Structure 1
Amino acid sequence: MERVRPSLLLASTLISGLAVGLGGCVVGPSPKDIPSLPKQTGYSQKAITQSEAGRDRTGDSLLGRQQFVSGADVAGKWWEAFQNPRLNQMVELALTNNQTLKAMQAGLRAAWEQRRVEGASLYPSISAQFIPTRNKTSKALSPVPNNNEWLYNLHTAQLNIGYVPDLWGGSRLAIRNAKAQADIQRFQLEATTLTMIANIVNTAITEAGLREQIRAKEDLIAQQTAMVRINQNQVGLGDQSRQSQLIMRDSLAQLQADLPPLRTQLAQTRDQLATLVGLSPNADLPIFELRDFSLPQQLPVTLPAQLLSQRPDIAAAQAQIRSAGAQLGIAIVNRLPNVQLSALPGEAVDSMSKMFKPGMGNWMLAATVTQPIFQGGSLLHAQREAKANYEQAKHYYQAAIMSAVSDVADSLHAVELDGSTLLADQGGLDAATQALHIAEAQHRLGDNSQIDVAQARMAVAQDQISVAQDKVTRLSDTVGLFQALGGGWWNRNDLGVSPEAAKRLSTTLVPW
């Protein structure tokens, strides 16, 4: 009968263990066990197809009507719909320069590597040892030493080979958990990127609105100052009382007190914009004006079912369910029997010249079976804890769905209705402007006083402030809709690496 060589026995043992590990089952909940969208989930009881008000034939796009396109995709660069090159420049700068995004991109790469760390458990572990020693044997222990020498050298070269078959899927569950954690990192990165972009767009819009309000407020102050001066002359002539002079000065002081806070807010808005794009407050940033923004006339409306894959917070909640499910499976595996295979082939010689010579080899094969018996109930309670965490993750996911649907509904209603406020205030501004023209014409004919003209100009300036605020609101609500729909992150690359590298890092488990 032919003798089986140790090397063949070792190889067959490892291959058998590998086959058992790969063929083992995976305990715990399935990663596909994700709660579905509640039936009849929608944004509104009635279909919303366009904004309620808007001037379809006007040179100012901010006054136009907006149409909602159901099922349309959200562009990756949705901010370009506002047709502001300076805004596009700021967003692109932030995407490459924001330090928070760079930190999160590095964190994502670390999470991908952690998944590959867990994947190493699918392979055998091999390490090498070389131990040279100088030894002396006691005559009491060895009266007749080997080679008649009590003093000798020993050189030991050995491989340590170990393998743990994945009988119950514990290793695969650890990989699944690491992948879910990496997915959470990715969607948190996408959510942060979306928030940053929306903040940049809203900050630029706010700056433009503040500039418009400051100019109107300065005009109000100028007209009130002129009225105070005219009234002062009238008081000197005895045509007006001292009381009227004091009332006008009080109104002027109130207008003047309103101006510094607006300028402070404008300066702070500029500082915030610089921070968002990764620059210091003294950086030379572009100036934003409301007239430079165009209101998107067509807006996408994602179907509720699509939100499950497009909203970063919902996708992160899905990944959290998969992570919690994997951790529950690991807690179950920890209570089951475990098998570990090991092998120790090597050489032991008294001189290096005999290394790898016949008869100098030694080896050991071992298999260890471990079954937890009593740990004070810790493994059982750990499993129950993991199950409770799994149920918690599913409830949080359902809450995230409802929150996302509500966000879209709120944004739709805001975009639908805020045009009515703007058109009403714009109508008031148009009327005030016509009244001013009439007052100026009457003044040229001597039919009214300079105070009447100043009051008409003040009415125009006051309406300009209201219109500027309404335009900011309408633009910001449009930004809010893009943000509520997920911001089109699936149509751009925010990961800091190429799509090919991202796919390789997030899917492969090769050990190199």
Structure 2
Amino acid sequence: MTHRFVFPTLALALLLAGCTSLPAIDPAALPATPAAFKETDPRWTAIAPAEAQPRGEWWKAFADARLAELVERAGRDNASVQVAAARLAQARALLRDAQASQSPQIGLNAGALRQAEPGAGGRGATLVSAGAALSYEVDLFGRLSRASEAASLDARSREALLQSTRLLVQADVAQTYLALRAIDTERAIVGDTVEAYRNTLRLTERRVQAGDIAELDAARARSDLASTEAEAFALERQRAQLEHALAVLVGEPASGFSVAVAADTPPLPQVPAGVPSTVLARRPDVAAAMSQLQAARARVGVAQAAWFPNLSLTATGGVASPEVSDLFKWSARTWGIGALMSLPLLDGGRREAGVQSARADFDAALASYREQVLVAFKDVEDELAALRLLEDQSQAQARAVDSAARATALSASRYRNGLVSQLELLDAQRSELRNRRQAVQVKAAQQQATVGLIRALGGGWS
């Protein structure tokens, strides 16, 4: 009777298993891949993910030893990187746990049982036993293999997220350090500007005392001087905040961390023409989103497998005896072999809810992947556009600096020949300093955009 029930049930389960399938990833739900980036030449194209490609030490393109040291320290001591590494170790442990479910389970057991013998008037008897047990769940419908696949994809996603965290921290260190260096250069220019305003004020006050000009001119000069001194204090505050941010990034207390002042800024790396399109495929956040999508797809299969029977094989062997002295005699041997198939019939809709939940997770992962790809293209286009426009702005600003420097030189020559007043010379010097400061700010923006492009491309372009 039992055999007549089990085998038709198994045949029906196998038939149902053949009718189920994992959800397909609809290409129409994914963003269209452009043939090339709008902001560069057609050789910039999008291809399949390649997050395992090496990125190299891209920060060395800035040729700054202090920057290289800070990036390396952050990669070792940054708290966010350490958290991501721990999450990866956790995901790999869960993968090993899922893989262990597909292996036979072997255990040893020993025990002693004191119980009343049936029909003996309540007289007690002792049974001593020792043995081994083996169990193995047959993965008939792929539930265990799909769970292992999902865990493997989770681990791959965590590995990509660790790469993403490292890249984010590296970029943050580079951008913060370069901003600090730009402020150092700007502070030096503002200091020169303050000195020029002081000279202007001294000259103006002498002319007021001589009755050549009105007190209004002196008041304006004092205002200009005070305003520039306030800008110098603001730059001091910004530098302190950037230094403290660097301390957090490299994993040190801000109270004991400092970066020496340097007036020069690192050189600006040039983005080479015709960079191969493969660099965009290394973005780890896109790779992580794809792995999460594939893991969600595999978990749909795990949820579907809950509708089918579980088949477990067991085997036991050992010895049992009422006397410890007889425990290891041949006559005390005992063994057993069994198979257990279980199939829930009524569960109040729990299995169907599990399948619906898994499909909803898959839909959410698909939408998340689509958004991540769109963001990746946006990031690259943003930084390419910024670099293109900043290059034009830098050239215009360089012309302004050259013209201002020429005006200062001409004013100095005219002043030596007695053709203009010292006040006109000081005005020309202030104009030159103002243009030089704006040139420093443009170069700082170019450096920030370059690091932003490196991050958008997944780390460098070599």
Tell whether the 8 Å contact from 1:70 to 1:302 is kept in structure 2 after alignment. Answer: no
Q: Pick the aligned partner of 1:168 from 114, 120, 141.
A: 141
Using the TM superposition, name which of 31-40 and 294-303 deviates more: 31-40
Q: Quote the residue 2:110 is aligned against.
A: 130
**Letter of the structure 1 residue corresponding to residue 135 of structure 2:** G
Matched, 1:402 2:374: yes
Matched, 1:44 2:38: yes
Work out the CA distance in 2 between the residues paired with 1:217 and 1:241: 28
Deviations 1:449-501 (A, max 9, x none): 22122111111111111000000011111111111110159x9xxxxxxxxxx
Q: Pick the aligned partner of 1:378 from 347, 350, 353.
A: 350
1:391 Cα offset (Å): 2.1
SS state at 1:362 partner: strand
Q: Quote the residue 1:504 is aligned against.
A: none
Q: Quote the residue 1:453 is aligned against.
A: 425
Q: Quote the residue 1:296 is aligned against.
A: 269
Q: Quote the residue 1:101 is aligned against.
A: 81
Work out the CA distance in 1 between the residues paired with 2:180 and 2:39: 36
Q: Quote the residue 1:236 is aligned against.
A: 209
Distance 1:415 1:467, change over 3 A: same
Q: Pick the aligned partner of 1:199 from 154, 172, 177.
A: 172
1:134 Cα offset (Å): 5.2
1:439 Cα offset (Å): 1.6
Work out the CA distance in 1 between the residues paired with 2:406 and 2:214: 31
Work out the CA distance in 2 between the residues paired with 1:115 and 1:388: 23
Work out the CA distance in 1 between the residues paired with 2:279 and 2:199: 59
1:343 Cα offset (Å): 2.5
**Letter of the structure 2 residue corresponding to residue 42 of structure 1:** A
Give the root-mean-square deviation of aligned CA atoms.
3.0
Task: Give the alignment of 1:235-384 within 5 angstroms.
Answer: 235-283=208-256, 285-287=258-260, 289=262, 291-299=264-272, 307=280, 309-384=281-356
**Letter of the structure 1 residue corresponding to residue 97 of structure 2:** V
**Letter of the structure 1 residue corresponding to residue 423 of structure 2:** I
Could you tell me the percent identity over the aligned residues?
Answer: 26
SS state at 1:359 partner: helix
Matched, 1:180 2:158: no
Tell whether the 8 Å contact from 2:175 to 2:451 is kept in structure 1 after alignment. Answer: yes
Deviations 1:354-404 (A, max 9, x none): 233222112232222212212121211221221122122122212211211
Tell whether the 8 Å contact from 2:284 to 2:458 is kept in structure 1 after alignment. Answer: yes
Deviations 1:183-229 (A, max 9, x none): 22111111111111111111111011111211222222211122112
Work out the CA distance in 1 between the residues paired with 2:340 and 2:46: 61
Distance 1:475 1:39, change over 3 A: closer
Q: Pick the aligned partner of 1:92 from 72, 87, 95.
A: 72
1:324 Cα offset (Å): 0.7
Work out the CA distance in 2 between the residues paired with 1:313 and 1:484: 10
Deviations 1:222-251 (A, max 9, x none): 111221121111111111112222222222
Using the TM superposition, name which of 120-129 and 325-334 deviates more: 120-129
Work out the CA distance in 1 between the residues paired with 2:271 and 2:288: 29
SS state at 2:268 partner: coil
1:39 Cα offset (Å): 4.7
1:172 Cα offset (Å): 0.9
Distance 1:294 1:243, change over 3 A: closer
Gaps of 5+ in 2: 1-13, 48-52
The count of aligned residue pairs is 441
Work out the CA distance in 2 between the residues paired with 1:39 and 1:414: 22
SS state at 2:165 partner: helix
Deviations 1:164-191 (A, max 9, x none): 1111111111111111211221111111
TM-score by length of 1: 0.79
Q: Pick the aligned partner of 2:407 from 392, 416, 435.
A: 435
Work out the CA distance in 2 between the residues paired with 1:488 and 1:128: 55
Distance 1:103 1:159, change over 3 A: same
